[in-house]
Structure 1
Amino acid sequence: MSDIFDLTALELGAAIRQGEVSPTQAARAALDRMEETKENGAFVAVTADRALDRAREIEQQLAAGKCAGPLAGVPMALKDNICTKGVSTTCASKILTGFVPPYDATLVERLGEQGAVCLGKVNMDEFAMGSTTETSYYGPTRNPWDRERVPGGSSGGAAAAVAEGDCWYAVGSDTGGSIRQPAAYCGVTGMKPTYGAVSRYGLIAYASSLDQMGPLARDAADCAAVLDAVMGKDPRDGTSLDVPAGGLLAGLTGDVRGMKIGLPADCFGDGLDPAVRQGVLRAAQTLKARGAELVEFDFPVMQYVIPTYYIIAAAEASSNLSRFDGVKYGWRAQDYEDLTDLYCRTRTQGFGAEVKRRILLGSFVLSAGYYDAYYKKALQVKGLIKKAFDDAFTRCDVMLTPVAPTTAPKLGESLSDPLQMYLSDIYTVSVNLAGLPGLSMPCGFDEKGLPIGCQLIGPPLGEDKVLNAAHAFQLDTDYHKRRPGQGQAEQAEKKEAV
């Protein structure tokens, strides 16, 4: 067997079932790797003893002929806004310091039924508000490809952990690109499913109409396996959809002959780094060589997606975060005069600057004098964006776009200009506004040796189309197999060879 860290999650799962490696060996290897890379800041809580106990439990189940899922015994990680019974869940915020949920999220339960071995919780932007994982109360996570750069956000800890080899897959949340953008920056594959396809029960909300959990892994096949385990109706989540669970992994044929790949011209205009544009268009040609048809069209609605998203997301955040007041759970200010003072001091001291900024913006657009002018209008534009996607999917089966305008920026650059950070989400937020499935996969490297990501977008419940197109691309390329530390010269050499 090759080096365990060269295996995908599915390959490691197969090796475990065949007895070539035990779940305990895999967990110990991952924990050792995490210790070597801890300065990267990917994890905020490591549950080593629980992981090893769980690995031994899976070994016993496998020996008894039980727990034969494709990912049984494979070490993984969870974003710190996904509730885990008995394990601290803080949303990387001071205000939730010490909060230990009394229950597991539905997604955690379903992964547990498939034999998941959770190593701990990974870092994120505070309450998932940010695009760099620099707003975390625990400090920033660093990009494994260049430790002076950000890993993206808000699921930056999850993307960095997978890219670093600390775990074989992770689960993050995506409100406006928070799975796909860090996946692009870190050179891994990340999937945001259709809104409602995965239960949100146990996900601490940022913007309830936009949030969705999904996997970050080495390739599309790993993502399909994770989604097979977690998709489906949940009576505890009224927004969950009654969709059939399973079948995505089995449907990865790699056959895209006759598939129409849409290239919206408005996603390739000004502001897009030339290296990113070239990488995405190269991916289009790779799919064309496998028999897909490229369809170009205008998509002018793109000019409205950023303001629409940030008005709606901030409005919902201001409501959702009102529950954090220092009374019921989490951190509480020590010196206060009365109940109102307790609320003010706890929230002032407990929330970071970016969270306060979005709460204030959300409260403003929901206020009596501005509701119609901003929030109501944003909801109307959201409907137009959804209709624009519906029209686009009458012309194509999936859309191919960039994930972000550039590759990973340096630490500190985005925080110094919040507006520029918001604009980095321009290609991803529309997918959440329309509730569509979207996937990010590596499609090249720039001149600095940094990963470039491209995005595939599908119609509602079109996960099968998106994953199969990604799988087809990854059958013909090796970008998803490359690892940090190979060196810029070697990256450039491989780039020319492919």
Structure 2
Amino acid sequence: MSKITAMTVSELSRALQSGELSSAEATRAYLDRIETKDGEIGAYLTVTAEQAMKQAEAIDARRIAGEALPPLAGVPAGIKDNICTKGTLTTCASKMLGNFVPPYSATVMEKLADTVMLGKCNMDEFAMGSTTENSYYKTTRNPRGLDRVPGGSSGGSAAAVAANEAAFALGSDTGGSIRQPAAFCGVVGMKPTYGMVSRYGLVAFASSLDQIGPLTRDVRDNALVLSAIAGHDRRDSTSVDREYGDFSAELGQGVQGMKVALPHEYFTEGLSPEIKDAILAAAKRFEAMGAQIVETSMPTISAALPAYYILSSAEASSNLARFDGVKYGYRAEHYGSVDELYKNSRSEGFGPEVKRRIMLGSFALSSGYYDAYYKKALQVRTLIVRDFERIFSTCDFILSPVAPTVAYKIGEKSHSPLEMYMGDVYTVPINIAGVPSLSLPCGCDRDGMPIGMQLIGKAFSEPRLYRAAYAFEQDARKGGERV
């Protein structure tokens, strides 16, 4: 069974298609793994064991009958608990949605209809946080160090993949929520170009920043999953109507002649020396493989973090206004008027971090402060977009750290929200600009904790990012390094 759960998505897909392995066998292996391992990890909020086995057996029957099935058919996966799944509890790790069973599925779940869902993964409440400590239900632990956080908000998804409790997982990324947990747990995570993957059925945090993306064990798997979930959706007004094709098509072509940008602002004060050394070593590896390293500047990065927290909090305050205790979700037991119903339901249903961001966003949008904060943040957004466009006019991608530190101890930063916000300094500019970014392992620190790097590209350059990441991954493995 452990051999099955150690297989990559590509290996598992080939074994299923050849008949060497059945989906029921693979699903049972993963469910057994979850049963024995997840007690200490806490990656899942809901495990859909009975449903998963029925789905796997149905897929096996269709395969035996000779039906042509997609590559991910029968592959067991974990799904972040802010992605709606028809008939299955979707809580956003919040008391507010503790009883919410969606009557419909997200578009990504429709696209993965032949993939076996093992369950819903833990997360920071409403995707607000960087450690998965903000979940109302439990704290997820990092499989690479049980006393460490797995990152967030997609910490449960990253931990499930790292602990071999899912062949792959889906997460959402608003300001680094796929890439940072991928870096902390030593897996691969992609934040796609904004509009590439439908947000229909994703419970919104900040609508102009959110994107669904895959977390996997290696680069090829990541490209395979993104190929399955990308595409236009008329139900999502922000979805981009274009052909995407196979994201793994350029794998194996190397990086000869590519130009790699290294903005010096990414390597200033606050970055761990071990992470800085690992990223610069990765740059040298790219150079040895035939890429050209270009030192450059991105002056707007210092303004990205405050702009992000104003924009995301403003959108969150608007999006979360729908949770009022009336139509669905948590409703307070004691109230004497409609106003008290709203007040008590929201006070009792939301956790401290969610309340903090709602209040910050409401303040930024309020009369007298809109121009001073929200409007200025929008102007900064335009400058960040221009900075990226300038760099990508001459370079293929940017190489940078994912986070300033490796995964830290559980509880170490929970007392200081601002310190945790600072950990997003390298990831939030990507969401502000709407461009893609891939996080992949590039080494470990002295304690054996994973270090992640990110490759940032211009809009819709995912095939090229995968090509560069795959070249790095394969070259490191040839040298016997763990990545």
One fold, TM greater than 0.5?
Answer: yes
Q: CA deviation at 1:465?
A: 1.0
Q: CA deviation at 1:205?
A: 0.1
Structure 1 stretches of at least 4 aligned residues deviating more than 3 Å after TM superposition: none
Aligned to 1:38: 38
Q: CA deviation at 1:251?
A: 2.4
Q: CA deviation at 1:494?
A: 6.8
Change (3 A) 1:66 1:286: farther
Q: CA deviation at 1:369?
A: 1.0
SS of the counterpart of 1:3?
Answer: helix
- Retained in 2: the 8 A contact 1:254–1:471? no
Q: CA deviation at 1:424?
A: 0.2
1:390-424 CA-to-partner distances (Å, cap 9, x unmatched) read 00101210110000000001111221110010000
Unaligned 5+ segments in structure 2 are none
Letter paired with 2:23: P
State how far apart, in whole Å, the 1-side matches of 2:188 and 2:58 are. Answer: 29
State how far apart, in whole Å, the 2-side matches of 1:187 and 1:48 are. Answer: 27
1:237-257 CA-to-partner distances (Å, cap 9, x unmatched) read 010001213321222124211
- Retained in 2: the 8 A contact 1:254–1:475? no
SS of the counterpart of 1:460?
Answer: coil
State how far apart, in whole Å, the 2-side matches of 1:67 and 1:31 are. Answer: 26
Aligned to 1:109: 110
State how far apart, in whole Å, the 2-side matches of 1:379 and 1:250 are. Answer: 36
- Retained in 2: the 8 A contact 1:259–1:293? yes
Aligned to 1:127: 126
Aligned to 2:101: 100
State how far apart, in whole Å, the 1-side matches of 2:298 and 2:244 are. Answer: 33
SS of the counterpart of 2:300?
Answer: helix
Letter paired with 2:90: T
Identical residues among aligned pairs (%): 56
State how far apart, in whole Å, the 2-side matches of 1:472 and 1:107 are. Answer: 28
Letter paired with 2:265: D
Aligned to 2:452: 453
- Retained in 2: the 8 A contact 1:229–1:246? no
State how far apart, in whole Å, the 2-side matches of 1:201 and 1:33 are. Answer: 31
SS of the counterpart of 2:388?
Answer: helix
1:167-182 alignment, distance < 5 Å: 167-182=166-181
Q: CA deviation at 1:2?
A: 9.1
Aligned to 1:26: 26
State how far apart, in whole Å, the 2-side matches of 1:111 and 1:66 are. Answer: 16
Aligned to 1:477: 476
Letter paired with 1:157: G
Aligned to 1:156: 155
Change (3 A) 1:232 1:494: closer
Note if 1:84 corresponds to 2:85: yes
Aligned to 1:296: 295
Of 255-264 and 200-209, the range deviating more from structure 2: 255-264
State how far apart, in whole Å, the 2-side matches of 1:433 and 1:464 are. Answer: 21
Letter paired with 1:14: R
State how far apart, in whole Å, the 2-side matches of 1:153 and 1:449 are. Answer: 20
Give the RMSD, CA atoms, in angstroms.
1.5
SS of the counterpart of 1:442?
Answer: strand
- Retained in 2: the 8 A contact 1:188–1:216? yes
Aligned to 1:7: 7
TM-score (norm 1): 0.95
State how far apart, in whole Å, the 1-side matches of 2:382 and 2:159 are. Answer: 35
1:329-367 CA-to-partner distances (Å, cap 9, x unmatched) read 011110111111011111001000000000000000000
State how far apart, in whole Å, the 2-side matches of 1:226 and 1:81 are. Answer: 18
- Retained in 2: the 8 A contact 1:261–1:293? yes
State how far apart, in whole Å, the 1-side matches of 2:167 and 2:246 are. Answer: 21
1:28-427 alignment, distance < 5 Å: 28-39=28-39, 40-112=41-113, 115-427=114-426
Q: CA deviation at 1:328?
A: 0.6
Note if 1:430 corresponds to 2:432: no
Q: CA deviation at 1:35?
A: 0.8
State how far apart, in whole Å, the 2-side matches of 1:66 and 1:257 are. Answer: 41
- Retained in 2: the 8 A contact 1:231–1:243? no
State how far apart, in whole Å, the 1-side matches of 2:43 and 2:440 are. Answer: 20
State how far apart, in whole Å, the 2-side matches of 1:2 and 1:361 are. Answer: 47
1:149-171 CA-to-partner distances (Å, cap 9, x unmatched) read 10000000000000000001000
- Retained in 1: the 8 A contact 2:227–2:245? yes
SS of the counterpart of 1:37?
Answer: helix
Unaligned 5+ segments in structure 1 are 480-492
Aligned to 1:489: none
Q: CA deviation at 1:69?
A: 2.1
1:120-147 CA-to-partner distances (Å, cap 9, x unmatched) read 1000000000000000011210000111
Aligned to 1:466: 465
TM-score (norm 2): 0.98
Q: CA deviation at 1:70?
A: 2.0
- Retained in 1: the 8 A contact 2:5–2:26? no
1:196-220 CA-to-partner distances (Å, cap 9, x unmatched) read 0000000000000000000000111
Change (3 A) 1:20 1:271: same
- Retained in 2: the 8 A contact 1:132–1:414? no
1:228-272 CA-to-partner distances (Å, cap 9, x unmatched) read 111111010010001213321222124211011111111011111
Of 392-401 and 309-318, the range deviating more from structure 2: 392-401
Count of equivalent residues: 482
- Retained in 1: the 8 A contact 2:250–2:464? no
State how far apart, in whole Å, the 1-side matches of 2:248 and 2:24 are. Answer: 26
SS of the counterpart of 1:78?
Answer: strand
